[in-house]
Structure 1
Amino acid sequence: MSEADENPILAPGEESESFASSPVVTTVFDTVLSAIHNGELQPGEHISDAVLAEQLGVSRTPVREALQRLREIGIIEASASRFTRVAIVSPQQTADAMVVWVALYAALVMEVIPIVPAEVVAAMKQDHERFQQSLTTLDMQTIATANAEYFNHLVALSKNPALQRGINSVVHQIRLGSLHLPERIDLSALSESQALLVAAARDHDTAAARGALRMLGLITIPTEED
């Protein structure tokens, strides 16, 4: 996946055939996304659509469509006729995306907290415990994965596709950017906010859920200017 590419993905405004519903596009999208989040592909690393197509045994057209979708959520960047690479998400970009995510997630909890089923509460609690265990090693890749999977449970309950898209449009950028901050965020506060949100989901308590989100919003994202 890491060889320099000969044919970058389409520049903004270029026409492309729609493969939005193609399972091949989804497979390529998920494969590259997982490779980025697990560290197999690093920020700044070039991606070749030709090499990727050969590795996955598919044509280049769905690969380009998948890369375009990844570009739209901010974790792939490209320059026409020059490169396609994993995005380099700056600490400031991470902080900006976090502001958007907290605002959107606050709207989400108002919708779903009153209806969270017991099995989702159990899954959140299990992921919260896994998150706490990951803090003992301070492996940021594992911490970021556990945190993302924890918060995704409530997103899946939403009946608002626009809200889901909005959250998903920034969450991957935050997840990638959080791995490359000048210093770690307050992981204890993040763990506490998770615990509060689990309790709020269990009790169907929207006021408590808003309190958990306020705590999240107060977590400082370190930037170069801090």
Structure 2
Amino acid sequence: MPIPPSDPGVDRSLLRDDVYRRLRNAIVDGTFAPGEQLRDHELAVWLGVSRTPVREALLRLAQGGLVVAQPGRSTVVSPLDVRGTRDARDVVAAMHELAAREAVPTLSDTDVTAMRDANRRFAAAVAADDVEGALRADDELHAVLVRLADNRALETVLELFTPLVRRAERLRFGSQDGRASVTQHDELIRLCAAGDAEAAAAVAYDTWHSLPSAEG
């Protein structure tokens, strides 16, 4: 059949990104367990796509440490590795430290309010043992500083390594330690509102660096 000339076609970059995000999330939330073998043809059927974007996504996931890929053989979900998680955590903490340092000088009252609102939602989710809600609110809070930092390299590093740290976040937000994060957020917001970039950067670093390095 003839293709209408107005048809924009499929944005292949968006397709690749969507496949990557869905596979990444399935690993982080435990849908695919550590050590589980991932077959590209089965994943393609599950996602309703061709095998090409699945293979590309698996390569990206391997770069971030979420899977171990052996070309021509198999791809498996990475085991819960203490050193790998610790290394990723340290990098993520450093990126959030940099984000705070760069963002605080341009922070507006509206931005501070957005951070406070996110932390209220975070506290409510932690109190209700709603790990998914806590993760969403935590992302929204820290995203304010990352957005204002306007540093593409920083964003790229966070996108690559934050998923590996997410399993440690799940451990914290599902325990009493999650309540400590509420207090850390309050202090971060207070320092941001006061315009103290260096102190805010230090708290941002500690907030991420104090995450456990592996599930226990």
Using the size of structure 2 for normalisation, the TM-score is: 0.77
Distance 1:200 1:129 in 2: 17
Distance 2:178 2:165 in 1: 15
- Are residue 39 (structure 1) and residue 35 (structure 2) matched? no
Distance 1:119 1:46 in 2: 46
Distance 2:165 2:104 in 1: 23
- Are residue 130 (structure 1) and residue 121 (structure 2) matched? yes
What letter corresponds to residue 29 of structure 2 in structure 1?
N
- Are residue 25 (structure 1) and residue 16 (structure 2) matched? yes
2:180 maps to what in 1?
189
Distance 1:146 1:171 in 2: 15
How has the CA–CA distance of structure 1 residues 145 and 176 changed in structure 2, closer, same or farther, with 3 Å as cutoff? farther
Identical-pair percentage: 29
- Are residue 99 (structure 1) and residue 90 (structure 2) matched? yes
Q: What do the CA deviations read for 1:12-52 (whole angstroms, capped 9, x no partner)?
A: xxxxxxxxx71110110122123233333333233221122
Distance 1:127 1:56 in 2: 32
1:81 maps to what in 2?
72
Aligned pair count reads: 205
2:85, 2:165 within 8 Å by CA — same for their partners in 1?
Answer: yes
Distance 1:202 1:151 in 2: 14
Distance 1:37 1:220 in 2: 16
Which deviates more from structure 2 when the two are superposed, residues 64-73 or residues 151-160?
151-160
- Are residue 159 (structure 1) and residue 150 (structure 2) matched? yes
What letter corresponds to residue 138 of structure 2 in structure 1?
N
Q: What do the CA deviations read for 1:48-94 (whole angstroms, capped 9, x no partner)?
A: 21122223332111111122112212222222333223222323332
* Bigger helix fraction: 2
1:189, 1:219 within 8 Å by CA — same for their partners in 2?
Answer: no
Q: What do the CA deviations read for 1:152-180 (whole angstroms, capped 9, x no partner)?
A: 33222232211222233321111124446
Which deviates more from structure 2 when the two are superposed, residues 47-56 or residues 115-124?
115-124
Which deviates more from structure 2 when the two are superposed, residues 138-147 or residues 200-209?
138-147
Unaligned runs of 5+ in 1: 1-20
How has the CA–CA distance of structure 1 residues 103 and 173 changed in structure 2, closer, same or farther, with 3 Å as cutoff? same
Distance 2:53 2:152 in 1: 24
Q: Which residue, out of 55, 59, 64, partners 1:64? A: 55
Q: Which residue, out of 36, 51, 54, partners 2:45? A: 54
How has the CA–CA distance of structure 1 residues 52 and 117 changed in structure 2, closer, same or farther, with 3 Å as cutoff? farther
RMSD between aligned residues: 3.1
1:89, 1:173 within 8 Å by CA — same for their partners in 2?
Answer: no
How has the CA–CA distance of structure 1 residues 150 and 48 changed in structure 2, closer, same or farther, with 3 Å as cutoff? farther
- Are residue 172 (structure 1) and residue 163 (structure 2) matched? yes
Deviation at 1:211, TM superposition (A): 4.2
Unaligned runs of 5+ in 2: 1-11
1:189, 1:215 within 8 Å by CA — same for their partners in 2?
Answer: no
